[in-house]
Amino acid sequence: MRLRFAPSPTGALHIGGARTALFNWLLARGSGGRLVLRIEDTDRERSTPENVAQIIDALNWLQIDWDEGPIMQSERAERHRQELARLLDQGHAYRSTATAEDVKAYKAKHGADRGFRGRQEGEGAIRLRVPDEGATIVHDVIRGDTRFEHVHLDDPVIARADGSVLYNFAVAIDDLDAGITHVVRGEDHLSNTPKQLLVLEALGAPQPLYAHLPLLHGPDGKKLSKRHGAASVQELRDAGYLPAAVRNYIALLGWGSESDETILSTQELIDQFKLERVSRNPARFDETKLRWMNGVYIRASSVEDLASAIEDHLELEDPDAAAAVRADRAKLLEAARISQEKIQRLSDFWPLSGFLFQEREIQEKARARWMGEESVAIATQARAELADIDAFDEPSVQRALEGLVARLEVKPGNVYQPLRVAISGTTTSPGIFESIVLLGRKETLKRIDDALAGAAR
């Protein structure tokens, strides 16, 4: 199989484009075929080098690689011109000055079910001549055959008056030259396919097989946009998702494995992905499931890997936090270990466990609930216990505090929550024993003292 991913650099790579890239990649890797990356930048106004860089960056982050390219469509202008000249010579295409309004007027006059057919004028934009009779049938691996009657089709403009080619022409030529066997892309291109097929036919060229993927929508069923939160690959990365989790999740949008499994490694994805099993209905991108899935991947990571991922993430998102974390690798490792089962995204780490690296102000609500008279009395005793024990490790700390709970005959939370608030500033944190040990005796006692002093005021 020879496949291609052909984004147009008019914006960031969004999740729909990422899925198209992934499906092509899975097919290439699973079949021993090749994947061609082509940048469709024939829209000179909207295509920018920054967007190209961003798309490549996104693919790199997703760990989707390609075998050929990136081919810039704009650099193939000469080839496009050649084929265009051939079509013109052979009468398959002609120049016409007809505008969009002219086409509309034509159809109003001739009836809605009669496609626009222009006259050879020798100047103006170049249109492809569509046969009056018959139909073009798109053979789609996912959808079966779709028939487009020629009478409904307008002669499409394939090149501007200045000779620069348009999308539907360039794609056909580029796919042909690249020897693409399977065109896998979004369903928004289905209606364009007959035009491309007609170009190929006029050229007497072979036709590839098509597969049009169902479109992706936002949670509200509307077109995906920034409004829906993390819609681009970059935003997903910034939100603290892992590439492997994102790949797993988007693979499941419009496709399901035969085994009905949800968590699938990239290798399993490669082994199991079949175009024939891609669904025909549009899917909504709902971040909730991705969040859950990311948590699964985080829990499955080694502590080493998780720590590195957290560090990289902080590096990008929070320089201060990154510096704090970088200063003590051993501590980061421990912090990652005790946070691992409590976070779903890398971005959850710092809010939950940052207190292990930096002292924080105690939140008002937490103080009100857990720094009252009784709590202060308990915390004072707990402080004494912690100051007293010989070894400051988890078993010792646990034994000491559990002893206190038993002696005081209070609920465990009455001891642990004031301590938690004192050391973390809030009511949720990793396990209290682990947190205290990781903080160390000196720092723990200091924070309890600070909290006690604050409560007295």
Partner RNA sequence: GCCGCCAUCGUCUAGGGGACUAGGACGCCGCCCUCUCACGGCGGUAACACGGGUUCGAAUCCCGUUGGCGGUACCA
Question: Which residues are catalytically annotated?
Answer: 226
| Nearer to RNA among residue 276 and residue 390 (C-beta) | 276
CB atoms inside a 10 Å sphere around CB 362: 22
Residue 168 binds RNA, judged by CB under 7 A: yes
Q: Site map for RNA, 312-351, x if CB under 7 A? A: -----------------------------xxx--------
The residues with which 185 forms a beta bridge, in sequence order, are: 212
Considering only residues 126-145, where is the footprint of RNA by CB under 7 A? 143-144
Rounded to a whole number of angstroms, the minimum distance from the CB of residue 234 to RNA is 19
Give the separation between CA 33 and CA 129, rounded to whole angstroms: 35
Stretch of residues binding RNA (CB under 7 A), selected from 186-194, 319-327, 328-336, 357-365: 186-194
| Nearer to RNA among residue 25 and residue 210 (C-beta) | 210
Q: Please pick, from the candidates 20, 54, 417, 444, the single residue that binds RNA as defined by CB under 7 A.
A: 417
Residue 63 binds RNA, judged by CB under 7 A: no
Q: Which residues contact 439 (CB under 8 A, 6 or more apart)?
A: 356, 423, 447
Give the separation between CA 114 and CA 29, rounded to whole angstroms: 45
List own/partner pairs for 442-449 with CB under 8 A and 24 or more apart. Answer: 443/359, 444/386, 445/383, 445/386, 445/387, 447/359, 447/422, 447/423, 448/379, 448/382, 448/383, 448/386, 448/419, 448/422, 448/423, 449/383
Whether 110 and 73 have beta carbons less than 8 Å apart is answered as no
| Nearer to RNA among residue 32 and residue 144 (C-beta) | 144
Q: Please pick, from the candidates 103, 211, 307, 324, the single residue that binds RNA as defined by CB under 7 A.
A: 103
Whether 287 and 253 have beta carbons less than 8 Å apart is answered as no
Q: Please pick, from the candidates 82, 97, 225, 302, the single residue that binds RNA as defined by CB under 7 A.
A: 97
Residue 256 binds RNA, judged by CB under 7 A: yes
CA end-to-end span of the chain: 74
Whether 247 and 22 have beta carbons less than 8 Å apart is answered as yes
Q: Please pick, from the candidates 288, 330, 388, 391, the single residue that binds RNA as defined by CB under 7 A.
A: 288
| Nearer to RNA among residue 21 and residue 157 (C-beta) | 157
Rounded to a whole number of angstroms, the minimum distance from the CB of residue 445 to RNA is 18
Residue 396 binds RNA, judged by CB under 7 A: no
Rounded to a whole number of angstroms, the minimum distance from the CB of residue 405 to RNA is 8
Whether 138 and 210 have beta carbons less than 8 Å apart is answered as yes
Rounded to a whole number of angstroms, the minimum distance from the CB of residue 346 to RNA is 14
Residue 360 binds RNA, judged by CB under 7 A: no
Q: Please pick, from the candidates 82, 99, 120, 358, the single residue that binds RNA as defined by CB under 7 A.
A: 99
Residue 363 binds RNA, judged by CB under 7 A: no
Considering only residues 422-441, where is the footprint of RNA by CB under 7 A? 427-434
Residue 48 binds RNA, judged by CB under 7 A: no
Place of tokens 């290798």: 267
Considering only residues 188-217, where is the footprint of RNA by CB under 7 A? 188-192, 214-215, 217
| Nearer to RNA among residue 302 and residue 319 (C-beta) | 302
| Count of residues touching RNA (by CB under 7 A) | 85
Residue 295 binds RNA, judged by CB under 7 A: yes
> Where does residue 373 rank: exposed (0-12), middle (13-18), buried (19+ CB within 10 A)?
exposed
DSSP 50-75: HHHHHHHHHHHHHT---SEEEEEGGG
Residue 301 binds RNA, judged by CB under 7 A: no
Residue 355 binds RNA, judged by CB under 7 A: no
Polymer length in residues for the chain: 457
| Nearer to RNA among residue 131 and residue 219 (C-beta) | 219
Cα angle, residue 114 at apex, residues 87 and 173 outer, rounded to 5°: 25
The torsion angles phi and psi of 116, rounded to 5 degrees, stand at: -70, 130
Residue 222 binds RNA, judged by CB under 7 A: yes
Q: Please pick, from the candidates 86, 139, 150, 284, the single residue that binds RNA as defined by CB under 7 A.
A: 284
| Nearer to RNA among residue 322 and residue 429 (C-beta) | 429
Rounded to a whole number of angstroms, the minimum distance from the CB of residue 239 to RNA is 16
Considering only residues 27-46, where is the footprint of RNA by CB under 7 A? 40-43, 46
Give the separation between CA 415 and CA 402, rounded to whole angstroms: 9
DSSP 360-393: -PPPHHHHHHHSSHHHHHHHHHHHHHHHH-SS-S
Give the separation between CA 309 and CA 343, rounded to whole angstroms: 13
| Nearer to RNA among residue 188 and residue 312 (C-beta) | 188
